[in-house]
A and B are shown apart, each in its own frame.
Chain A
Amino acid sequence: MIKEYHNVKSVEGPLLFVEGVSGIGYGEIVEIESESGVKKRGKILEISENLACVQIFESTMGLDTRGTKVKFFGETLKVALSVDMLGRVFDGSGRPLFGPKVVAEAKEDVNGMPLNPASRESPKDFIQTGISAIDGMNSLVMGQKLPIFSGAGLPHNYLAAQIARQASVRGKNNVNFCVVFCAMGITFEEADFFVKDFEESGAIENAVLFLNLCDSPAIERLITPRVALTCAEFLAYKHDYHVLVILTDMTNYCEALREVSASRNEVPGRRGYPGYMYTDLASIYERAGRVKGSKGSITQIPILTMPNDDITHPVADLTGYITEGQIILERRLQQAGISPPISVLPSLSRLMGNGTGPGKTRDDHRDVSNQLYSAYAQGREIREIVSVIGEESLDDVDYKYLEFAREFEARFLGQGFYDNRTIEDTLGIGWNLFSILPESELKRISPELIEKYFKRSL
């Protein structure tokens, strides 16, 4: 049932207050028509007996308190979904940018519903991204949410595009992979980079793009990831696709959240972000996973730029508490010309153990990974000592570690954005690097594996 009202009481920032309403439900979708006939959409944020607070997804420019009409539809925000969305581009609220309307196979509420923990299935299938630092040491698993923590000026977009291009499941060629790309407040150039990259690799055929750019309304960003994930859920659970969702940039999303919160005069938490930001972010990130009785899966790669490279910033911090690990890019590596500049020591994949090892990747995977971590950490520690007290006090083994760290960065990390390595290649490079060190230093690898792989690689 559609109801229309004219009594707008006030417009404050992105919020609009309507008086004298009745029979309107919390969370419902609203259409606002300005005097000049421009239509905008919004959502009920708070409702009492005769006053509704509406959050408008677009600019409130041109709205007034006299001529504005407000229409209530009696339903929550839903998107039309179809498998034909693959290969198409949509705006931040899910309307096609070009071409005809989507012929709906289903219409779903963008907020989704909470996934029952008892119906989840543990993610355990290794995704080969072709990137050594990820596959070898921070493996991505189907159904995982693994964000990229980046900074302004770092090549996170190249990395995300590389993952989207190269992701594959070992030993299976007929896997239904597709990409849902969700842009929130990024620039035209950045969006264009992704579109071009997908076009060149042909991935565009199997991708759905939702674009909310810098110049799109900021508040619309709050629904863009929800629309994108609703589409991803549809593709994964109704059509058995393995969906890789790229969300960029979550920092912009959180800015929009803060903007709405501030205009509602809410009590702020850290740095002005609302106290419910953890819950709000979780309602996005937790939509990754696998479920019982469905072949499909949703894997998320959210990207966020840490203001001033500060990992304790609320956006990075709260994300880290929800996601299953993080891939961190490091400015120092970038400056040293190493790409992708993945800082492996603080990076982590919590689900690596689920998807690696004998039968899944290779029997030596875990040990090699541990040994790489430990040797590289030691090499970097020695590098720091050298920068303080010079090289005089180093012994032979210390020099070997220095060399290891240097070679590790150059050969293992610095593969560039167009080298697609199999996991065997990655592990092989690892064993090659170990030959720099004396065998007695390989404490994290079991003697049988040293016998099997190390001796052979010499």
Chain B
Amino acid sequence: MLKKNDVKIRGKIMKIAGPVVVAKEMAGAKMYDVVEVSKDRLIGEIIELRGDKAVIQVYEETTGLMPGDAVVSTGRPLSVELGPGIMGMIYDGIQRPLELIRKRSGIFIRKGEKPDAIDRSRKWKFSASVKRGDTVKRGMVIGSVKESATITHRIMVPHDIESGVVGKISDGEFCVDDVICEVGIDNGGKAGITMRQVWPVRVKRGYAKKFAPKEPLITGQRVIDTFYPIAKGGTAAIPGPFGAGKTVTLHQIAKWADADIIVYVGCGERGNEMTNVLEELPKLKDRNTGKPVMERTVLIANTSNMPVAAREASIYTGVTIAEYYRDMGYSVALIADSTSRWAEAMREISSRLEEMPGEEGYPAYLASRLSEFYERSGLVETLSGDFGSVSIVGAVSPQGGDFSEPVTQNTVRVTKCFWALDAKLADMRHFPAVNWIKSYSMYVDRLSSWYKEKFGDEWNSARAELVKILKRESELKEVVQLVGMDALPYRDQATLLAAKIIREDFLQQSVYHENDTYCTIERQGKMVALILKFYDECKKVKGELADIKKVRVMDCVKRIALLRYMDDDKFDAEYEGMIKGIEDEFSKSGELADD
């Protein structure tokens, strides 16, 4: 990792406390430089400098380190390697390939293992998109390789080359460290571009311009797409107590979202869950491309039993990889499970540094770190002139399910979607357990023109109507608690019935049912239309016939309940049939009564 002309800064360990190590004789070292600790060459990062003393967080287990052991600075900040070969990989928090580590050291992760993040020997078929004599600028695409079945990896001019003129460039088979293009730089020098670049994880990657997002990220989850949509380039927080289904919801998004690329960060969570993802994704076919979902996915797994400092880094590693693919013009979704564990890692390191704590022992910079992270999302025009986006969905695990704690509060201040998971709904096995009253999406207005263009004006008014029915239900429920259902007028009873149908037959969605696990946006629209049609007809009933017990057992109620399980090819016919059928059934029951 050392450049030849760098002067090595060599220090010695003074003190070890858990993942935090203090070294002396480190004068000249810079903040956030990566260091190698002891003869095992454990990786660490400088997080504080006092005189010639450096405080280092070590990304591996520190047991066995001794005062006096060597500390060598690499002179570079913590960085990730970017280039073809990332797709489909599973990395730890500092981009070490876990599959390779397994092959080398067995079922446990031994100290000091660091295989290359990107395979150096694999050959890629490069085809150039610029030619000799073209002028290129930093971040511009100069060619591409086919990285996976679905992803074309675009090779970009590294950011340290401001601009220059293309010299030698040709198509062919190359390894990531071969020079694929020579560039004559403006100041007269020459630079060789390889397919592998490094980028410091704590620095955001540049772009030409940022825009407010305007298109939804379709997830196939009805409560998200219809009720509380997230935009491509937007942010969402999904807080909930344990058992409310955060991880399952995030997995659903990873599987079905219509983003080009998914970066899934398992930050301080369960090992078995990561295994589930690893086993399922390769089997699952992407709805758009028909290829395994794994072909567009990168996993960062720093499970709860892995070193805590690497957990702190994992979020940055993930978002940097996401930005890199965004710069190629892709829409990327970064899923972080869970940002609370990330915050706890910060807290742990902060307390080892004996920093003055803010709320609940969290460091005072918690809020700024969280907002910096979420701000790395967005819809941008890339330096190459394409459009790319990074959407961020972060799980929050508040202690005791108490949303007033600092991580949740500081997160919701910067995220625009709030999908509040509810233990009560989970106990009732209402999944996804997104509370429809507490949740919100600030993108609803912004995205309304997209929905309008696609589905007409009805979409937005229908959505508003659904929300209204559910709001009304929560008011009426309080009345029912006091006086009982029978005391309500028929109209209110009809609203309660409609609300029940929305909750049970629309908002609930089964992960396990093959037809229900993903619901196209068109299908969601049609389901909404049928439910509202039913509600309209239901409200029209007058006089003696207005008996909710009779309405409840009508045929169309049963048919609405079956809609979500129906095969795609049968659904449209059923929809056409029911749009008329509902009206007919109501008028027929009216006629029968007249007789």
Please report A residues at the B interface, Cβ cutoff 8 Å: 22-28, 45-49, 76, 111-123, 143-144, 237, 266-270, 275-276, 278-279, 282-283, 286-287, 289, 291-294, 311-314, 317-318, 320-322, 324-326, 345-346, 348, 350-351, 353-354, 366, 370, 373-374, 377, 388-389, 393, 443
Contact = CB atoms under 8 A, between A and B. Distances in A.
Contact of A26 (B64, B109, B279, B427): B64
B161 interface: no
A389 to B, nearest CB: 6
Interface in B300-345: 301, 303-308, 341, 344-345
Interface stretch (B119-127, B166-174, B211-219, B270-278): B270-278
Contacts of A312: 399-402
Given A25-B65, A282-B304, A283-B305, A268 B275 contact: no
A267 B358 CA distance: 10
Nearest to A345: B427
Given A279-B268, A279-B304, 9 more contacts: A27-B64, A270-B399, A275-B351, A276-B18, A276-B344, A317-B241, A321-B242, A345-B428, A374-B428
Interface residues of B, number: 69
B411 to A, nearest CB: 17
Contacts of B63: 25-27, 76, 111
A279 B106 CA distance: 23
Contacts of B67: 22, 24, 47-49
A46 B17 contact: yes
A24 B66 contact: yes
B274 A266 contact: no
Given A76-B64, A393-B484, A317 B400 contact: yes
Given A120-B271, A351-B272, A269 B361 contact: yes
A116 B484 contact: no
Contact of B68 (A22, A275, A314): A22
Interface stretch (B97-105, B376-384, B447-455): B97-105
Contacts of A346: 243, 423, 427
Contacts of A278: 268, 304, 341, 344
Interface string B362-403: 000000000000000000000000000000000001011110
B90 interface: yes
B462 interface: no
B484 A26 contact: no
Contacts of A46: 15-18
A123 B544 CA distance: 58
Contacts of A270: 360, 399
List the 5 shortest-distance A-B pairs measured between CB atoms, nearest first: A312-B400, A282-B304, A27-B63, A48-B15, A286-B305
Contact of A393 (B274, B301, B485): B485
27 contacts: A27-B63, A28-B64, A46-B15, A47-B67, A49-B67, A111-B63, A113-B108, A114-B303, A114-B306, A114-B307, A115-B107, A117-B90, A117-B275, A118-B98, A120-B271, A121-B275, A122-B272, A123-B272, A275-B361, A276-B344, A279-B308, A282-B304, A286-B303, A289-B272, A314-B399, A353-B512, A370-B429
B404 interface: no
A26 B272 contact: no
Contact of A289 (B16, B271, B429): B271
The DSSP consensus for interface residues of chain B is mixed
A8 B260 CA distance: 62
Nearest to B400: A312
B109 A269 contact: no
B64 A276 contact: no
Nearest to B66: A25
A269 B304 contact: no
A23 B66 CA distance: 6
A287 to B, nearest CB: 7
B101 A377 contact: no
B409 to A, nearest CB: 15
Nearest to B65: A26
B478 to A, nearest CB: 13
B357 interface: yes
A388 B271 contact: no
Nearest to A265: B354
Nearest to B357: A267
**Which of B14, B18, B275, B361 has the most A CB atoms < 10 Å from its CB?**
B275
Contacts of B14: 48-49
Interface in B216-245: 241-243
Nearest to A326: B243
A395 to B, nearest CB: 8
Contacts of A22: 67-68
B347 interface: yes
B110 A113 contact: yes
B486 interface: yes
Nearest to A443: B561
A116 B98 contact: yes
B242 A320 contact: yes
Contacts of A324: 270, 272
Contacts of A443: 561
